[in-house]
Every structure is written in structure tokens, then in C-alpha cells.
Chains A and B, each alone.
Chain A
Amino acid sequence: MVTAGSLAMILLLSTVSRPGTEIPRTHQEQVEVLNKALRAFDDGARLGAREPTAARERYEQARLHFQSLVDAGIRNGRLLYNLGNCYMRLGQLGRAIACYRRAERLIPGDGNLAENLRFARSLQVDRIEPSAASTALRRLLFWHYGSSIRTRARVAMAAYVLFWAVMLGVLLTRAQSAAWRWTARTAAIVAVVASVSVGAETYQTATSREGVLIANDVTLRKGNGVTYDAVFDHAFSEGLEFSLVEPPRGDWLHIRLPDGKSGWIRSDQAELF
């Protein structure tokens, strides 16, 4: 039965609060949350291996703070990069890769991001080699796959400006030198090829969806249900990246692995980006 003291308790004043999950609305609040996140991350790094449980709690706090900034609508690649670092420290490889991949679209060519994404991928348990045709295409178009979209866009713009500058120079000076013509043609070709490369990647980013496994022991099935047989006699681990074959169907995703094989997984086992 209730004591006299508890009778006086007012229910409305004693609600459950969730620290770290409030969404910061104003710029001042966002700055404070960012500072809290960075402090928590640094605390986690300081505790490190000495006190792994406490360190993990700090990283989790930092993750919550960074996530609240993302939830506040801040679309920033470096923020996503920091969030990915938290997931890495928490040992959640799949979510870390998802964050890095999202950040890649906002800060393509960022050195730190490229390094951490490369490191995260080195930790993938399942490594699936792309198909031979895909490998050959990647070798042929190494400049496309090996450079960031921002770099290619800059190259395209530089070549474009060079082309018109040469054309203008030829017009004004009436130069007939073959070197001028060769320079203009080369610049035009580079501008067109780089523009096509940028356009193709932009189109692919806008039209195709990719994802990463965030769970372990994921069975790739032949259909969208647990009654379908497994495609492989192997369960995949988190961190494996894939592309989506078609829009999600209910709670199931039809995915294509890097080697071209496809199958179905539950949507709660993956994160799309």
C-alpha cells in the first residue's frame, strides 16, 4: 500500500528521460551537443583498453550525441564520419561502413574518410571478389573507380576552361599552330570524358541503392521468406556491402553481392544508404 510520502508524489513531474537523445534545434544547442560528443569520444579513447566497459559507455554516449545532430537534419559528411568512428569503436562494423559511405557522398575525396573506410573494409569477415567482367571494367576505367567524383568534376571543369581559353587565344591571335589545336582537342576530350564519368556516377547514386549488413549470421535466401532455401551454405557477417536489385518488398530486401550473385535478406539485417 502507499505510504503518506508517496501520496504527495506528482506523477506528471516524474517522467522518464532519455539522456543524449534530445534533438538539438538551435545552433547553440548543436554546438553544445557536438562538444559533448567530442568530449565523450575523447574520454572513451583515454579510458581505452584500461577500462573497456567504461570506454564503451563513453563511445555510446558520443554516438548518441552525434546521432542527435544527424537527426536534427544536419547533412554533413564530417559529422557522419565522426559517427562512423563511434560505431567503429563500438565494434559495429556494418553501421560504421554505412556512415562512411553516406559521408563519402558529401565529402568525396576526403583523405581521412577514405582511410577509415579502407580500414573498416579491411575488417570485413566476408570478402567477395567482384566478377571477372566487373574486375576488367574496373581496370579499364581505373580513373573512374580510383578517383573521387569531386576530383573528376574538377578535372572536367579545368579541361572545359582550358578548351575555351585555347579557342579564345586562337581566335584572337589567329594562331595556326598545331600545338594549339592539339591542346584544344585534348582538353575537349578530357572535359567530355570526365563529365560523362561524373554524370554516370551521379545518375547511379541517384537511381541505385546500396547497403551493408549490420547483423551477423545472415542467410541469403532464394526468396523473400524464411521458407526459401539458402543461396549459399554460408552465413554472412556484418560489414558486407551490396546493392539493391529492386525496391524493398515488405520486410525483405533483394540484394546483389559484389560477385553478381543475388538473394534475399531480412531488412532488419541491413542498413541502406
Chain B
Amino acid sequence: MPHTAIEAQAEDGGSASKPQRIIKLGKTSDDIDKKSTNRRVKDVEICVPIVYGTIAFYLGRKASESQSHKWTVYVRGATNEDLGAVIKHVVFQLHPSFNNPTRIVESPPFELSECGWGEFEIGISLFFHSDVCDKQLDLYHHLKLYPEDESGPQSTKKPVVVESYNEIVFPDPSECFFARVQNHPAVLVPRLPAGFSLPAPVPLENMNENGRGDTKDHPLSQWFMNFSEADELLKLAAARQQVQAHIVKLRRQLSAIDGMPQPLKPASSYECT
């Protein structure tokens, strides 16, 4: 999909510093376009933090035998930013008892709402834009309708929310993709060393035709869970400290028994942090 004019910078004849990994070309924009989508930024990974899951409401008085709950399955950016820059479309694979169990959502927000009575595993397949990745990524999520504590009647106000945090990692992303999402809020892009130059970003076609793709003001956003890595990091750091202290103690005990000075162990894990 050649876009004119933008590739003009490739005609640059005088860049003295040639970064090792990027090749400068000097010919037609078409060719350059093809090449830059093929070329990859090495030893760099682009990370897209996502949250996916389900929110299910009990329908209460409106419930029937076959439709007792209304639920929504979705994939959103972890910070509720628009994933449309990365994901082209999402395919939700529902239980075969649903009509057309293969539901395709073409644009963000990538979600699907349905009514039903049963819990099952939903298949979520993410399809990316052509410059991002030509392989799909499959996720699975178990739809939960009934709350943990079965005490009392179900509330129609409080839904059953199950969300999972994960990060999509693209190792060695294409330059085109990199340039395009360099400053995108939904994407974590590492800083490249100085002197690195990329082709100018090429915006995708059909972006945001249907309005906002982010989920910041989504009607269900009040139920979204907060995922903070700080808690886990703290816990992990504390645990590591304890384990390290024990290791030191045991090493001392061992060397006392051996009667030798502290034995040299091959480089163990905590030396390579």
C-alpha cells in the first residue's frame, strides 16, 4: 500500500552516520515501502499490555431459562487506550450452541455481548495489522457467570468480573510498525539509541472510522480491575530477600561442615541479576 511523498526522506544521500542496522536506500518509493516493511529492528521488543476477560450480569426478573445472564467478553488496552493501532480484528469463538459461534469484531473496542445461561471457554484470536505480525495470537478465557460465594440471590447490580492481564510481545518488530506506534499510548516501545533513524510513520487505512477505540469511558469501565505491578514487585522482592538470606546461612553451614573456606559455587542465579 504505497503512500506517496512520505518516503522522500529515504532519498537521503548524505547521512554520514550509518547506523549498523538500518540500510538507506535511494530509489523508488514503492520499493522502499516494501523493503521497510520487511526490515526489522533487531534486539528490540514492542510490548502491548492488554487485559481481557468477561463481565456478566444476572438478569434478575428478566431472566429466562435459556438466558439468565447478559455478559460481555472483551480485549482492552491495560491503560484503556485504543488497541486498534495494533490489532486489526478479533475473532471470538463461542460455544457451538450459539448462533454463528464465530464472531468477528472488526474495530475497537474489541468486545462482544451476548445473553446465555452457561459457562464455557471462549476462544479469543487476535489478528494484527499486516506490518505488525502475520500470525494470529490465541487467548482463552473461561466465562464465569456465577459468583464465588453462593450466599443469597444473585444481584443484578453487581456483575461477575474476571479479567486477566497479559502482554503481547513482538520481538524484532518491523521498522514500519515501530515507527507507527513509537508514540502510541497503548504500546510500550523502548527507546532506541541515538542516531537511529526510521522511516516516517505511515498511518493505517481506515483508522478510527467508527469513533473512539479506547475504553476510557466505556460503560463497563467502572468494573474494570486495576492491575498494578508494584504490589507484585514488592512481594517478589521481599521473597527474594528471604530466600537469599537463607542461602547465605546454608552456605555458611555447609562450609563449616566441609571445613573449607566458603566453597566457590558456579555463578548462581542471584549473581546474574
User: Are A and B a genuine interacting pair, yes or no?
Assistant: no
Hey, which bits of chain A sit against chain B, CB under 8 A? none
Hey, which bits of chain B sit against chain A, CB under 8 A? none
